[in-house]
Copies of this chain bind each other. A is one copy, B any other.
Amino acid sequence: VVTDELADFPADPVDREPARPGRVRPAYHRVADELRSRIVAGALACGERLPNETDLGRSFGVSRSTVREALRVLASQHLVTTLRGVHGGSFVTEPDPASVIRDLGGALGALALTPTLGVEDLAEARLLVEPTAARRAAERGDPGAVRAITAAAKVEPNPDDGHRAHLDFHAAVLAGAGNILFSLLITPVLEVLRSRMARAPITRAELNEVHGCHQHIAAHIARGEAVQAEEAMRLHLVELAPFYRRALWIG
C-alpha cells in the first residue's frame, strides 16, 4: 500500500504561486510546496541530502518524473542543488546573495522592457542609494573593502569593455557599505543600465572625466571622509545623468 502524504496536505501560505480557486494544483507543484515548506521550516538542514528520486516518489506516492519536475522548480529557486554520480543527489542549498542578485538582474531586465520601469526610475534609485553607500563605506573603513574600491578606481577605462570598469567601481562601493541590501537592489540596476548602454558612443574625454571622479571618490573613502565621499558620489551621478539620457535609445 502506498501512503499518499499529499492527499490532505493543508494549504501553506508561504512563497507559493497563487492558485485560482477550483483550479487543480498539479502534483509536481504540491510536491515542490511540501519539500519547500520542510526546507524553510528547517526540517531539512542546509547541505543535507534528500532521499533519491525513486524514494521521494515512493514516499509522496508519485512517479519519479513528477519528483524530478518538482526538483527543477526548487532548483530554480536555489533551494536545492542536484548532482550526478554515486555521491550525487539533491542537497539543500545555503542561501546565497549572489544568486539573488543574478535573479533580480534578470527580472529587472525584463521589467525594464515594459513601461513599468523607466530609466528615470533606475537613475533615481541609484541617486538615493549610492551616495549613502559611499558614506557608509567611508565610515566603516573596512580595509578589504577600501582596497577593492581603490583597485576598481585605478582600472583604466576602456571603451571596448562596455563600461565594465565603470560599473565595477560602483559595485565595489556598494559592497563596501556593508549592507547586502544595497548591492542587492543596485547591482542589478547597474547591470540593466550596462546592457542598455552597450556600444553607446562615448568620447575619450568623457571617459577620463568619469575615471577622475572615481579616483576622487575612492580617495575620500580611503581617507574616511564620509561626508565628502557622499557628496562626491552624488555629484558624480548627477553629472552622469544627462549622458545616460543621451546614450539610451529607449526611454
Across the interface, do B180 and A121 meet the contact criterion of CB distance under 8 Å?
yes
Closest B residue, CB atoms, query A189 = B181
Stretch at the interface among A1-9, A111-119, A216-224: A111-119
Contacts beyond the supplied A95-B113, A111-B180, A128-B132: 6 A-B pairs with Cβ under 8 Å: A15-B106, A65-B68, A78-B107, A95-B111, A100-B111, A121-B180
Complex Cα distance A94/B116, Å? 11
User: Smallest Cβ distance from A237 to chain B, in angstroms?
Assistant: 15
Across the interface, do A181 and B95 meet the contact criterion of CB distance under 8 Å?
no
Across-interface contacts of A181 in B (CB, < 8 A): 117, 121-122, 124-125, 185, 189
Residues of A in contact with B (beta carbons under 8 Å apart): 14-15, 17, 28, 40, 65, 68-69, 72-73, 75-79, 94-95, 97, 99-100, 102-111, 113-114, 116-117, 121-122, 124-125, 128-129, 132, 179-182, 184-185, 189
User: Smallest Cβ distance from A139 to chain B, in angstroms?
Assistant: 12
User: Smallest Cβ distance from A154 to chain B, in angstroms?
Assistant: 25
Across the interface, do B14 and A106 meet the contact criterion of CB distance under 8 Å?
yes
Across-interface contacts of A122 in B (CB, < 8 A): 181
Across-interface contacts of A78 in B (CB, < 8 A): 107
Name 6 interchain pairs, CB-CB below 8 A, sorted by A: A15-B102, A17-B99, A72-B73, A72-B76, A95-B114, A124-B179
Across-interface contacts of A77 in B (CB, < 8 A): 76, 103, 106
User: Smallest Cβ distance from A125 to chain B, in angstroms?
Assistant: 4
